[in-house]
Structure 1
Amino acid sequence: MVDLQLREEFKGKRLKGTTVDFTNQSKTGALQRDAADFLRITYPSHDLLKTIEATGPGQSRPLALIGSRGQGKSHLMAALYHLCKNPEVGREWLDQWADVLKNPKLAELGLREDCHVIAESMHLQRYQYLWDVIFENHPKGEVFREIWERMGDKKTNVPSYDLMYDMFKEQPTMLIVDEFQTWYEGLTNTKQYPRRNWAFIFIQILSEIAQKHPELLVLAVSVREGSSDAYQQVRRVNPVDVDFKGPYAKRDRQRLLLYRIFENRMQAHEDDIKLIIENHLSEYFRLGNVPQQEQEKKTADFVESWPFAPHLLQLLDDQVLVATDAQEARDLIKILVDLFKNHEPQDAIITAADFSLTSEKSAVGSLLDSVANQEHKDLREKAQRNLEVVLAAVPNAKNAVPHAEEIISSLWLRSLNVEQLRGSEPETLQIDITRANKIDDNAFEVELANIVDNSFNIHQVGGRLIFRQEENARAKLLSYAKNDKLFKEGEHAGQGLEHLAKEIRAVLGGDESVSAKHRIVVLKTMWNNAPWSEFEENQGPKAWDDKRLTTVVIPELPEKHAEALGKWLKEHLQDSRNTIRFLLPQKGTGNVYYDRDLVILARAVYLANEWHKNDTKAGYAELARTFRKDELIPKIRSRFDRLCVLSEWNYAEPAKCIFEESKIDKQGDKIPEEIDRIVREEMFIPEEFEEYVAMFASDNESVGKLLKDLREPRPHGKPCIPWLGETELKERVEKLCADGVIALNIRGTRLMQAKPGEDFETAWRRMKGQLPTGTHLNDTTIQKPDSSAASGGKPIVTETGGATGTPEPGTDPISGGLFGGGTPDATGTGEPQPGTDPTGSGTAGVGTGTAVPTTSHSAPATSALNLLGQIEDWGINPGTPVTNVRVSVGQMTGAQLQKLIKDLPDGVTYSLELEKEADN
């Protein structure tokens, strides 16, 4: 393994500055150093090679280096100085790098060996005029200064073109002017001393000589901006621009940094580096979802940037330092050196997590020294306090949040980015703390949640976490949501559970297309005792219309759910019991209203919406959306997965009701349609429905009665026909008509039935949608095809509803119509004959002869189904003897009367009395 060694100037406790001074009083300036020593720390970047080529023999254009502070302009100019001042050393340096980089073209670069090199950094303000730099440093400078001075100020304030040309003829010169723009912009113009104008004229003279006579003058200047006035005169002669922005700039800067920092980085073998960073790299690929085709290139990037992660260098170079006033490469070297000196030796790679917030020696200090932004420094203090709070708040913090400082440090650094990239996604933080060993995903998720939940300055924006100055409204919201007392008393009492019920309904009810077809009724905490007490009156069963299919959501899965649902139907629903579809939660989830996570989330959404009404700028609306969309809805969507539909009804013993169950694979607003599909395709048996409709046809019953009966469970334990909704069932009736099974008498005006030889599709197209709606369904009867009842004749009834006619011999006329029970006496009094059973069985009783005690029961006029339920309430079961049974019918058709008599049980005698309308 490679043991990286810092260069000597970086090994001390106090990092020496990396600013490049051409000269200084201590004689350690870049131009004062030994040429070989200076070139030893110089990397042949693309910009440097371009500079060498532009100033070489045979070139005819001035050179302009354009870039902001700290990009390396001064180092590059100092290197050019040494290369041309000491061409032998320069040639050796080029040959060495040509061999190292396997690039023979480097050895072919030409160096100017015939020039006297003058280099000056103008920002030191040692010279008032640029020509003084030349006169003082050129071998013939003093001679030509005297010539110019003898000419007198009145003749010329600026050395002339001819004068400078003659001097350079005496000794060809390379003039390197660093910080030219800084010096130029510091000049003033007065009427007596227009120094800036003079400088403008003089640089134009030098530029033209360098362009026309490159053999005499090589001119190289550095400026910060290409649009500055200082650059304009140089630009007129079409200089060679080096702007540090070419396609090789980023790669070169990275290599330059590593070469500048380490003595032996070039000796690190690629295979050794790959082995060291293997775990970090594999996790970077996995967590970052890096495509297979890009992994080879990314691996090369990691090897190239080691020991620093490329995502760290990119973060610092392209994001953090851009967002500050740092001097780019110069400050970056200081930061990276401090990172390396203070990182743990066993760490495989250095990431953003190595910016320790607690260590005084960490690179954070170097970074903040480079940042002229008080906000960023204040944010560090808040991050430190957040770390303290987390470590104090989380039990057993050492084990529960072992990477707390690294995670918070990484997040803090990434929160200094430019706005669009500020903060970090959780996966990126996990990558940052992954070094030699991988981090378990679940453990990291729990640790990060602990950190975020206990930090007041960490904000979540979309999928990103961000450190900010302001307190986290999310943390405040959660603290209130966790306060049980707040939701037991005062204005918010009960609102958490109420809102949770609303959210469940919204998730399952979905968009308008779902809610238009399905009614989602979410029962609340008192679902099993007094469910409708928790609803407004206009929300209870009495307000339900017939247009939608009703799904009742049960908040918990009872241990014996079929028994519980049967009792619930009997006790809390008086009619339309067969129309209900029950949706139950997953097994093992418990009561939804006792799930603390769900309750807190619901409270948070509720509070956020309420607080937003009073403070629209605090971000509560966005928090409400985030909690709801990202946390609450996903939990609700997967909560309910069990469908129960009544199969066999038992009013007397509802615990014995039988329900058909089915697992639901869909989630959220897809559940209602999936329920509808399951009921329609898996539970509904078309043959049973056809048989049931055919029975109605035999008795010429109305479609209205058919639909009404189907809304209720079938009595006597008969299998219930699942309710598909009025529209669907009407369509199925029409299809049976089109198939020739039945005929439909539409309101006594026309008979709709399949024609002889007509195929189903043709008939169906003709009949589809012909059934009426509402109360008109009661006037539309179901008949057998070609039935004589199709004539549309009306049943004849008296005005009072009593039947007309004379009783047949042997019958007992009893007021009101049909009656049964007992054998009438010869006098027609209706009293039982001696020796008969008063129960009406028709057989003589056997016993002691003592009277059997009886109780009387009566019920008002109601439907047959409700009457059956009333009988069950009286405790009458199949073995219970009853006597003196009277069933009164006010009005009915002949068909109904025939059906009633046919269904009467054998072994009992009956009498009949009715009134019939007279024939015309």
Structure 2
Amino acid sequence: MLGLKLRQEFKGRRLKGTAIELTNKNNTGATQIPAEDFLRITYPSHDVLKTIEASGPSQGRPVTIIGDRGQGKSHLMGMLYHAFNDQTATRKWLENWSDLLGEKAIKALQLRDGLHVISASLHKQRYKFLWDLIFDNHPHGSYCRGQWEGQGDKKTDIPSDEILLELFKHTPTALILDEYQTWYDGLTNTKQYPWKNWTFNFIQILSEIAKEHPEYLVLVVSVREGNTDAFQQIQRVNPVIVDFKGPSAKHDRLRLLLHRLFENRIQVNDDQIEKLINIHISEFFRLHDTPPVEQDRLRTEFIEAWPFAPHLMKLLEDQVLMATQAQETRDLIRVLAALYKKNGQKASIITAGHFRLDDDTSGITALLDSVANQYHAKLREKALRNLEAVRDAAAGTRQELPNLERILSALWLRSLAAINQAGADQSTLHVDITCDIPIDDNAFQVELTTIVENSFNIHEDGNRYIFREEENPQAKLIASARNDRMFKDEEDIDHLTKEIRYVIGGDTDVATRFRVIVLPQAWQTDPWHKMDEKDHPDHWGDRIPLLILPQTPEKKKDLETQLGTWLCKNVQTHRNIVRFLLPRQESTNLFSDRDLIVLARCVFLAQKWKSQNPEYRRLETKYQKELRGILKSRFDRFAIISSWNFQHPENCQFLIENHKAEGNKIPDAIDSITREDLFIPEDFEDFIMEAAPNNESVGKLINELKEPRPGGKDCIPWLGETVVKENIIHLCAQGKIAINLRGMEYLQQEDGETEDKAWKRMRGKLGTGKHLDETHILLPQNVPTTGGASSDPDKPAGTDSTGGQSWKDSANGDAGSAGGKIQDPSIPGNHGTDSGDGLGGSSNPGPGGIFGGGNSYTTHSEPATSALNLLGKIENWGVGTGTQIRSMELKISHLTGAQLQELIRKLPDGMVYELELEKENNA
């Protein structure tokens, strides 16, 4: 990328440590390598130049370097060591940087010459006392130690200022003490071992010598804080303080980092950089709505921070590493080196989005090692599981999420920041994933929404998103609901079905009058296999079945073909009672609608988890309300059979109507439309009037009305048994028919009686069940003139005391009488006969009477075949459940005694049977 070269030490597969030590056992410490090599990785920051100046020949104050771990104190001390020991290399380094930066003051700095340098990293605890360090490493140290120790009883606890002054006069010295505070704070300070007090006094002596005799001693000490006892005695002499917190410290540290990482960063042309990252900068300005007055300054910051985005550097330095007490510059170098190695040759600019959660080589490992915080490691594990959950959800919907990894990675990194800065808003995340190609706002919004909805550890805090270790109940619920692998047993489909049934038929009144059934996905091929047995056709009872279809074709003819074929194949009886509830034409298949499925899953899981966390109870209510709101208006039409064709069910015709209702109002709306608009009273009256002359039972008529009318006739919509009986009573109250109540009472309109009065008198008398089979309708003129219930069950109603019976002649309406036993004409099959008055004929001829009329019968037969084929044949013959059969003969050859017994056991009760068989004699 623009010829940028990472330093050799960072190119290996394993990233070497970046900590600077003055010395180490491998002889690679700052003071153990040539000055030229060490200065090559040193940037002349303000703090470096200030330290060189403070330790120059014209200065007379100790130098105290204050900074937390990893900020570069040791590096600065190593540079100072080489400045004292190798003036030639240091001078060349100053002049080179003076030319590069165009600052003449750099080469004008004066260097001290002729100093003996003693340096030590005190935290390694190689010396108990500072004077041992000095005496052991000074050319005149042995002599001065002898003077001090040879004082006998006059020997002081610490060497005196006179001895030390003699020492430094002999050989002027630069004393460089790194990690002084760490060492000092670990000293014992008891009455027996008051070592801390001794050191406190000794450092005061050194400070005063450095101030009063700078030509003999240069004292440089590093501490972490400026308010500790370790610093107090040095502070008394007004030292030069280098604290890494000056106004230019941050800017210098950025340049120091880039120089430390790259061999030639300063040589890359700014114009080339600006051209390379112009799209990212422009998107940054647009998304953050940056005022024009700020844009030039920010553009300069982008160029100076390249190849890293300045917002990434700020995030790492000011928020992540500081919040986690990492070793700042030292750890930041390691993190940035790993990040650049992974992305430097591909990305025009490196942002927070380039930390890949699922790739340890992207800088993640170096970052986690730096923060050394178990919470953040766990947070990464949570984020990785969220990443997997989103991938699964996207795979289930085949949705493209091109920026998934970068969005989640950027959000995770920003969630490591200090509490009040943790997380990121939408614009920040958008910038984090933008490099050299702009990303459409709408596409990004959709992608981010999908990620948030399917990530159960992302929380919303105002306008910011943030990863947290604790789960977000709503996000977890949605993420789990979108995971198809959690619902392999179709619990989601079952719950959606339950919700639909509740929405349409949940009302108690509706449930008592209608059987709401949601047909499965495979409704056309296998509707009943997985369905509760109570929903099978033979368990519908008296309730009207309202069958809900998952999807319907757009064309009416295709729908009619599907429904007719389905009825013929899957419902064997009472086909006329079925209603089909249809979804809107533009809607997708009920069980393929991803939104509905996810909502149903949310409700199902919330119900399952609400005992663990009360928040799920609230979410159950929320998503259930949303789901039911959609379902209420999803089904806008219904279908009812209009014309039946058993031979060619694909040619059946249906009435398809809009009901204009929602939810549990739909069944009543369908019922109302069927009664008021589809049910034609005249057709019903014609049907009843055709049956009246034949004295048909009410039970038979009801069974016939439950079936589609044969022969292509228009079907009479089924309104339910109660309504049918009420309509029959109304016809009776109007005087159009009479009703024989089980041979015990006749219902008919009385002379001068109004319809309303007759209705009130008759209603509710028809009964139910078997009573309907014993109750018959007849024409009013066929009601006996005298009647009443007979106490003799063998004596027909209406028989007078002489054994005769009177009735109205069906032809002229005159009353007639006959002697002898004459059967009641209101009972099917009982036909009155003359007793022999010489006139002949029948007063109420039955089948085959001399005047014709009555029932007509057609004979059908079928050669020997299977029971299944016979069922098909009798349906072809038009034999329904209500069809009257005068006689039936069933021939069976070659059966066993067991089969015969089983056959007889299955014969219906209430009839008598004649049996004749040929039995083998040896059986």
Report the alpha carbon displacement of residue 621 of structure 1 after superposing the two structures with TM: 8.7
Q: Distance in 2 between matches of 1:239 and 1:232?
A: 11
Per the alignment, residue 83 of structure 2 pairs with 83
SS at match of 2:117: strand
Alignment partner of 1:124 is 2:155 = no
Q: Is the CA contact 1:608–1:621 (under 8 Å) kept in the aligned structure 2?
A: no
1:24 equivalent to 2:24? Answer yes
**What's the counterpart of residue 204 of structure 2?**
204
Name the CA distance, whole Å, in 2 between partners of 1:76 and 1:469. Answer: 40
Q: Which amino acid aligns with 2:410?
A: S
TM-aligned CA deviation for residue 159 of structure 1: 0.4
For 1:91-106, what aligned pairs fall within 5 Å after superposition? 91-106=91-106
Counterparts of 1:762-781 in structure 2, within 5 Å, are none
CA displacement, residues 16-47 of structure 1 (integer Å, 9 cap, x when unaligned): 11111111222111101101111111001111
Deviations along 1:294-353, one digit per CA (max 9) or x if unpaired, are: 111111001001001111111111111112132111011000000011116231011111
Q: How many angstroms apart in 2 are the aligned matches of 1:201 and 1:619?
A: 67
> 2:114 matched to 1:114?
yes
**CA pair 372-152 structure 1, distance change in 2 beyond 3 A:** farther
Counterpart in the other structure of 1:42:
42
Match of 1:35, as an amino acid?
Answer: A
SS in 2 for 1:361: helix
Which residue of structure 1 aligns with residue 163 of structure 2?
Answer: 163
Instruction: Note the alpha carbon deviations across 1:857-915, whole angstroms, 9 max, x for none.
Output: xxxxxxxxxxxxxxxxxxxxxxxxxxxxxxxxxxxxxxxxxxxxxxxxxxxxxxxxxxx
Q: SS of the residue aligned with 1:65?
A: strand
Q: Which residue does the alignment assign to 1:255?
A: 255
Supply the distance in 2 between the matched residues of 1:607 and 1:236 (Cα, whole angstroms).
73
Q: 1:415 touches 1:423 (CA, 8 Å); kept in 2?
A: yes
- Separation in structure 1 between the aligned mates of residue 143 and residue 478 of structure 2, nearest angstrom: 83
- Count of residue correspondences: 540
Q: Which residue in 2 is equivalent to 1:237?
A: 237
Structure 1 residues 448, 138: CA separation in 2 closer, same or farther (over 3 Å shift)? same
Q: 5 Å matches for 1:132-531?
A: 132-152=132-152, 155-343=155-343, 345-395=345-395, 400-476=400-476, 478=478
SS of the residue aligned with 1:437? coil
TM-score (norm 2): 0.54
User: Is the Cα–Cα contact under 8 Å of residues 454 and 476 in structure 2 kept in the other structure?
Assistant: no
Runs (4 or more) in structure 1 with deviation over 3 Å come to 395-399, 476-495, 596-628
- Inter-partner Cα distance in structure 2 for 1:109 and 1:462: 53
Post-superposition Cα deviations, 1:595-640, rounded to whole Å, max 9, x if no partner, equal x999999999999999999999959999999999xx99xxxxxxxx
1:742-781 pair list within 5 angstroms: none
Contact 2:200 2:230 in 1 (8 A): yes
What is the DSSP-based 3-state SS (H/G/I as helix, E as strand, rest coil) of the residue aligned with 2:338?
Answer: helix
Q: CA deviation at 1:110?
A: 1.4
**C-alpha deviation, 1:478, in angstroms:** 4.9
What per-residue deviation string (whole Å, max 9, x for no partner) do you get for residues 711-739 of structure 1?
xxxxxxxxxxxxxxxxxxxxxxxxxxxxx
Q: Using a 3 Å threshold, how does the CA distance of structure 1 residues 428 and 617 change in structure 2: closer, same or farther?
A: farther
Unaligned runs of 5+ in 1: 499-588, 591-595, 633-920
Q: 1:399 to 1:34 in 2, by over 3 A?
A: farther
TM superposition shift of 1:489? 6.5
Is the partner of 1:395 in helix, strand or coil? helix
- Give the secondary-structure state (helix, strand or coil) at the position aligned to 1:386: helix
In 1, the alpha carbon distance for the partners of 2:176 and 2:235 equals: 16
Change in 2 beyond 3 A, CA 1:617/1:270: farther
Residues 403, 433 of structure 2: 8 Å contact kept: yes
Q: Is contact 2:344–2:350 with CA below 8 Å preserved after alignment?
A: no
Describe the SS at the equivalent of 2:395. coil
1:555-594 alignment runs, 5 A limit:
none
Partner SS, residue 405 of structure 1? helix
Contact 1:425 1:465 in 2 (8 A): yes
Give secondary structure in 2 for the equivalent of 1:321.
helix
Contact 2:606 2:619 in 1 (8 A): no
Instruction: List aligned pairs for 1:598-613, cutoff 5 A.
Output: none
Q: CA deviation at 1:189?
A: 2.2
One-letter amino acid of the counterpart of residue 406, structure 2: E
Partners of 1:617 and 1:205 lie apart in 2 by 68
Task: Tell me if the contact between 2:181 and 2:224 (Cα under 8 Å) persists in the aligned partners.
Answer: yes
Q: What is aligned with 2:72?
A: 72
- Note if contact 2:210-2:217 (Cα within 8 Å) is conserved in structure 1: yes
Judged with a 3 Å threshold, the aligned counterparts in structure 2 of structure 1 residues 349 and 384 are, in CA distance, closer, same or farther, namely same
Q: Find the residue that maps to 2:65 and give its secondary structure.
A: strand
Distance 1:370 1:398, change over 3 A: farther
Largest Rg, 1 or 2 = 2
Q: Secondary structure at the match of 1:447?
A: helix
Percentage of pairs with the same residue: 53
Query: Is this contact kept in 2: 1:608–1:620, CA < 8 A?
Result: no
Rounded to whole Å, the distance in 2 between the matches of 1:320 and 1:184 is: 30
Answer yes or no: is the 8 Å Cα contact 1:477–1:607 preserved in 2.
no
The one-letter code matched in structure 2 to 1:168 is F
CA distance in 2, matches of 1:385, 1:475: 13
Q: Write the distance in 2 (CA, Å) between the matches of 1:337 and 1:105.
A: 32
What's the CA shift string for 1:794-819, capped at 9, x where partnerless? Answer: xxxxxxxxxxxxxxxxxxxxxxxxxx
**Aligned residues of 2:603 and 2:624 also touching (Cα < 8 A):** no
Change (3 A) 1:460 1:163: same
Assess, with a 3 A threshold, how the Cα gap between structure 1 residues 492 and 426 changes in structure 2: closer, same or farther. Answer: farther
Q: In structure 2, what is the equivalent of residue 570 of structure 1?
A: none
Contact 1:43–1:259, Cα closer than 8 Å, also in 2: yes
Q: Summarize the Cα distance change of 1:481–1:134 in structure 2 as closer, same or farther, 3 Å threshold.
A: closer
Relative to structure 1, the CA distance from residue 99 to residue 156 in structure 2 (aligned partners, 3 Å threshold; closer, same or farther) is: same
User: 1:291 and 1:622, CA in 2 relative to 1: closer, same or farther beyond 3 A?
Assistant: farther
SS at match of 1:241: strand
Q: List gaps (5 residues or longer) in structure 2.
A: 483-491, 508-585, 588-592, 628-923
Paired with 2:177 and 2:6, the residues of 1 have a C-alpha distance of 32
Instruction: Call closer, same or farther: CA 1:105–1:158 in 2, change over 3 Å.
Output: same
Q: Which amino acid in the other structure matches residue 276 of structure 1?
A: L
Q: Determine the structure 1 residue equivalent to 2:872.
A: none
Matches within 5 A, 1:47-62: 47-62=47-62
CA contact (8 A) 2:176 2:219 kept: yes
Distance 1:620 1:376 in 2: 30
The separation in 2 between residues aligned to 1:626 and 1:198, in whole angstroms, is: 73
Pick which of 206-215 and 38-47 moved more: 206-215
Change (3 A) 1:223 1:153: farther
Cα distance in 2 for residues equivalent to 1:422 and 1:321: 13
- CA 1:613–1:200 in 2, change beyond 3 Å: closer, same or farther? same
Looking at structure 2, the residues matched to 301 and 373 of structure 1 have their Cα atoms a distance apart, in angstroms, of 31
What letter is aligned with 1:163?
A: I
* Conservation of the 8 A alpha-carbon contact between 1:188 and 1:195: yes
State the AA in 2 paired with 1:134. Answer: I
Residues 33 and 469 from structure 1, CA distance in 2 versus in 1: closer, same or farther, beyond 3 angstroms? same
Counterpart of 1:259, as a letter, is: H
User: How large is the Cα RMSD of the aligned pairs?
Assistant: 3.9
Query: Residues 224 and 465 (structure 1 numbering): CA distance in 2 closer, same or farther, change over 3 Å?
Result: same
1:412 touches 1:467 (CA, 8 Å); kept in 2? yes
Residue aligning to 1:9: 9
Residue 426 of structure 1 aligns with an amino acid whose one-letter code is Q
Q: Is the 8 A contact 1:605 1:624 kept in 2?
A: no
Matching residue's letter, 1:459: H
Instruction: Please tell me whether the aligned partners of residues 414 and 423 of structure 2 are also in contact (alpha carbons under 8 angstroms).
Output: yes
1:590-669 → structure 2 map (5 Å cutoff): none
